[in-house]
Amino acid sequence: MVAEIPAQTDANTQKVDAVVIGAGFGGLYATHRLAELGLDLRSLEAGDSVGGTWYWNRYPGARVDSQSYVYQYWFSDAVLEEWDWSERFPAQDEVERYLNFVADTCDIRRHYRFNSRVTEATYDEPRNRWLVVTDTGERYDAQFLIACTGGLSVPQFPDIPGIEDFRGECVHSARWPAEDLEVGNKRVGVIGTGATGIQVIQTLAPVAKQLTVFQRTPTFAIPMRNPHYDSDDRARIRARYPALKERVFTTFTGFAFDFQEKSWQEFSPDERTALMEQLWADGSLIFWVGTFAEVFFDPEISREFGAFVARKIRARVKDPEIAEKLIPTDHGFGSRRLPLETHYFEAYNRDNVSLVDLRETPIERITTEGVKTSQAEYALDTLVFATGFDAGTGALSRIDICGRDGILLREVWDDDLRTTMGLQVHGFPNLFTTMAPLAPAAAFCNVPTCLQQQVDWISNCIGYLQAKGRSVIEPTRELEDQWVQHHDELASQTIIADSASWYVKRGRNGKSRMLSYLGGVKAYGELCDDVAAKGYEGFTIA
Ligand code: NA7
């Protein structure tokens, strides 16, 4: 007997066990793990190759801020053995090459369909299956839907009038063309001074004829120490891999280091300064998430760190007025992401670089010629928007994800930004997410660690269902309420909760919620494992 085909599927709908969305760190690993479970898979990616963040963000100076020896996968001995990192903090092209190497070495690419953007996913409740539709008209009928769509993947353009009037070249950092843009001998403007803007500015400063930086909020940043690795370095680092593979899942942020064991109060003022100098000299994010946990709770300690960084900035910027403009005064050290920089502050000592403080002279509009502030018009050939992302919810909210009872995920989130451990959402059975709100995410995690942790949980869960002969899993509303409450309790104790950065998502209803789970990678892993060990306690399984 031929099975009845439901109304929304047709003969062209391909039946698979699972659809994975995305070919970044999370999607590639999810594809690998689910293929290992023997699932019939289709993985879909909007870009024309693998890489995710490292495929899209090819702006000048794009570079990772995590040490290469922890910014990697641990699942493949062949990859660990064969892949050689060239430096401590590799540039975009190297990380992209790494992900291509993994896809090829582990034969992951064959599961993918590229240039295929998912536009709709509808849960067919009577059949307990997802109907997934792409912009190329492909349709998949899948039991499981795993969305590895990234937490920072939808570029955000600022709401400034006149953008479409500009006659020069206009580009968002996250959509920099692969063939590159010629910026030498050009008048370039950059709007945005977050982690991305800093990398763009320090890279274009020596190249552009004139570089005008439009800064709304200055950013605490510290110098990156980025030695190149030779074969001896690599051998030394490789010998640490077995320990690192365990270590990263047991620290607070998924790096190899952790917070200081002694508290701030146990150090004398001189010892504190000496420690700050020592961590500063390391030139890594240890200065941010390897100091004292109290930095994130105690505004006074945050101020001390801010004052230390401010002194360093003043010592590097020749013009004292410019130096003051580059020092944050409206947010504490630690409440926003700490970028690592290379000659960023020295860029402002150059004759061809100028800083426009938008707090003093706001942008009124973009004109045909450039940027017009309340005080002047800046003629430009190229305008770069380093204005960030629609963080956390951006990618999933742009897909029409329709769960039980016809509810849309974006409407649920517009009303109340909620998930269960960032892995599932009540009302959306068999939909799994990575890097979603309320899980450890980019804000406070070395992303590959968090992604491997989350994908492992998801694939173990699907493996469990297979083994038990079950087909559907969904968190109960009660469990989700508990998780949201736990998440909020942790977030509200920190100085980050009040941050006006992408860490905190403001919903259309005016309510806001911290995106990233702040209990730490280790505690998060233990909580998630505990739920699994208890037979997915708090989930409905059918
Ligand atoms: P961020 O950190 O969100 O930074 C965006 C920057 O763009 C920030 O300086 C913003 O100033 C600025 N911005 C945004 N809108 C405007 C308007 N309308 N006018 C002027 N300036 C504006 O994004 P990034 O890409 O730098 O970094 C994201 C993460 O990627 C980073 O944290 C790492 O984890 C990797 P604002 O602060 O809002 O005043």
Rounded distance from Cα 330 to ligand 1 centre (Å) = 15
Q: What is the rounded average pLDDT of the residues 433-456?
A: 94
C-beta of residue 379 within 8 angstroms of C-beta of residue 492: no
Read off the pLDDT band of 262 (50, 70, 90).
very high
SS3 97: helix
The residue among 397, 402, 400, 432 whose CA lies nearest residue 417 is 397
197 lines ligand 1 (CB under 6 A): yes
160 lines ligand 1 (CB under 6 A): yes
442 lines ligand 1 (CB under 6 A): yes
Higher pLDDT, 291 or 443: 291
Rounded distance from Cα 201 to ligand 1 centre (Å) = 13
Token readout for 427 is 């009302």
Q: How many CB atoms lie within 10 A of CB 377?
A: 13
Q: Write down the pLDDT at residue 395.
A: 98
Taking 90 as the threshold, does the pLDDT of residue 62 lie above it?
Answer: yes
Query: Which phi and psi angles does 184 have, rounded to 5°?
Result: -60, 140
| E strand or H helix at 231 | helix 231-247
Q: Write down the pLDDT at residue 514.
A: 93
Token readout for 351 is 């004759």
Residue nearest to atom 28 of ligand 1 (CA): 388
C-beta of residue 173 within 8 angstroms of C-beta of residue 384: yes
Taking 90 as the threshold, does the pLDDT of residue 476 lie above it?
Answer: yes
According to DSSP, the β-strands at 340-341 and 222-223 are: parallel
Q: How many CB atoms lie within 10 A of CB 433?
A: 30
Taking the C-alpha atoms of residue 65 and residue 280, their distance in angstroms, rounded to an integer, is 14
217 lines ligand 1 (CB under 6 A): yes
Give 265-292 pLDDT, tens digit per residue.
999 999 999 999 999 999 999 999 999 9
Q: For residue 194, give the ligand 1 atom closest to its CA.
A: 26
C-beta of residue 512 within 8 angstroms of C-beta of residue 519: no
Read off the pLDDT band of 511 (50, 70, 90).
confident
Read off the pLDDT band of 3 (50, 70, 90).
very low
Rounded distance from Cα 216 to ligand 1 centre (Å) = 9
Taking the C-alpha atoms of residue 269 and residue 156, their distance in angstroms, rounded to an integer, is 42
Read off the pLDDT band of 2 (50, 70, 90).
very low
Taking 70 as the threshold, does the pLDDT of residue 84 lie above it?
Answer: yes
C-beta of residue 67 within 8 angstroms of C-beta of residue 255: yes
Q: Write down the pLDDT at residue 1.
A: 35
Taking the C-alpha atoms of residue 308 and residue 457, their distance in angstroms, rounded to an integer, is 40
Q: Write down the pLDDT at residue 8.
A: 62
386 lines ligand 1 (CB under 6 A): yes
Rounded distance from Cα 224 to ligand 1 centre (Å) = 20
Percent of the chain with pLDDT over 90: 93
Read off the pLDDT band of 498 (50, 70, 90).
confident
C-beta of residue 15 within 8 angstroms of C-beta of residue 131: no
194 lines ligand 1 (CB under 6 A): yes
Q: For residue 174, give the ligand 1 atom closest to its CA.
A: 25
Rounded distance from Cα 234 to ligand 1 centre (Å) = 35
Q: What is the rounded average pLDDT of the residues 113-117?
A: 98
Q: Write down the pLDDT at residue 9.
A: 66
Taking the C-alpha atoms of residue 515 and residue 393, their distance in angstroms, rounded to an integer, is 9
SS3 197: helix
Least confident segment among 114-128, 169-183, 477-491, 503-517: 503-517
358 lines ligand 1 (CB under 6 A): yes
Q: Where are the alpha helices (DSSP H) in 290-430?
A: 299-316, 320-325, 344-347, 394-397, 409-415
Q: For residue 197, give the ligand 1 atom closest to its CA.
A: 26
Rounded distance from Cα 88 to ligand 1 centre (Å) = 25
Taking 90 as the threshold, does the pLDDT of residue 424 lie above it?
Answer: yes
Give the Cα-Cα-Cα angle 39, 40, 42 (nearest 5 degrees). Answer: 115
Percent of the chain with pLDDT over 70: 98
Orientation angle between helical segments 521-533 and 447-468, nearest 10 degrees: 0
Rounded distance from Cα 386 to ligand 1 centre (Å) = 6
Least confident segment among 28-37, 342-351, 438-447, 458-467: 438-447
Read off the pLDDT band of 507 (50, 70, 90).
confident
Taking 60 as the threshold, does the pLDDT of residue 497 lie above it?
Answer: yes
Q: For residue 442, give the ligand 1 atom closest to its CA.
A: 34
Orientation angle between helical segments 269-282 and 299-316, nearest 10 degrees: 60
Q: For residue 385, give the ligand 1 atom closest to its CA.
A: 7
Q: For residue 216, give the ligand 1 atom closest to its CA.
A: 39
Taking the C-alpha atoms of residue 235 and residue 470, their distance in angstroms, rounded to an integer, is 46
Whole-number mean pLDDT of the chain?
A: 95
Rounded distance from Cα 417 to ligand 1 centre (Å) = 21
Q: Write down the pLDDT at residue 499.
A: 80
158 lines ligand 1 (CB under 6 A): yes
Q: What is the rounded average pLDDT of the residues 378-391?
A: 98
Taking 70 as the threshold, does the pLDDT of residue 187 lie above it?
Answer: yes
Residue nearest to atom 18 of ligand 1 (CA): 158
Rounded distance from Cα 347 to ligand 1 centre (Å) = 19
The one-letter amino acid code at 125 reads E
Taking the C-alpha atoms of residue 258 and residue 456, their distance in angstroms, rounded to an integer, is 22
Taking the C-alpha atoms of residue 412 and residue 419, their distance in angstroms, rounded to an integer, is 10
Token readout for 338 is 């700490």
Rounded distance from Cα 192 to ligand 1 centre (Å) = 5
Compute CA distances 289 → 256, 304, 327, 372, whole Å: 11, 15, 20, 39
Read off the pLDDT band of 31 (50, 70, 90).
very high
